[in-house]
């Protein structure tokens, strides 16, 4: 599959999985299905998928952001570190009620990724 094929597949599957999870009132279940899909990709396909997950993490869509961050964390996608640093800065400036929790989550992921890089 080409990079654009991977992006199209993940996007279409995210929509389907998200809708099904919402219908089942199990939004966290979507992450497990997305992780299963990610695991099925080849290394080359994962590279394209990683770029899309980073975009999701930076998006303003809370659901995509949640799923992107969860998969970045689960699969230790170290290429996401610069984007996560930008996201942390954005959350530091945010004033919404969830901003401190979002910042803490991103900082936890960053800590795990940077610790993994040092090993």
Q: At 68, list the tokens.
A: 């992107």
Which residues constitute the domain of residue 94? 3-118
Q: At 64, list the tokens.
A: 């995509």
Predicted TM-score of the model (pTM)? 0.92
Query: How many angstroms separate the CA atoms of 81 and 47, rounded?
Result: 15
Into how many domains does the chain fold? 1
DSSP assigned state of 80: G
Task: Give residue-wise pLDDT tens across range 51-89.
Answer: 999 999 999 899 999 999 999 999 999 999 999 999 999
Using an 8 Å Cβ cutoff, are 2 and 41 in contact?
Answer: no
Task: Give residue-wise pLDDT tens across range 6-29.
Answer: 999 999 999 999 899 888 887 778
> Within 10 A of 112 (CB to CB), how many other CB atoms are there?
13
Query: How many angstroms separate the CA atoms of 7 and 5, rounded?
Result: 5
């Amino acid at each position: 599959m080409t990079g654009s094929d991977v992006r199209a597949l993940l996007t279409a599957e995210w929509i389907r999985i998200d809708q099904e999870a919402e219908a089942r009132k199990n939004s966290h279940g979507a992450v497990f299905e997305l992780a299963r899909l990610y695991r099925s990709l080849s290394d080359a396909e994962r590279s394209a998928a990683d770029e899309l997950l980073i975009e999701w993490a930076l998006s303003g869509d809370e659901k995509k952001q949640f799923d992107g961050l969860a998969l970045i964390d689960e699969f230790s996608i170290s290429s996401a570190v610069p984007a996560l640093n930008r996201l942390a800065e954005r959350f530091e400036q945010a004033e919404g009620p969830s901003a401190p929790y979002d910042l803490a989550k991103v900082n936890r992921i960053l800590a795990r990724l940077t610790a993994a890089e040092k090993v």
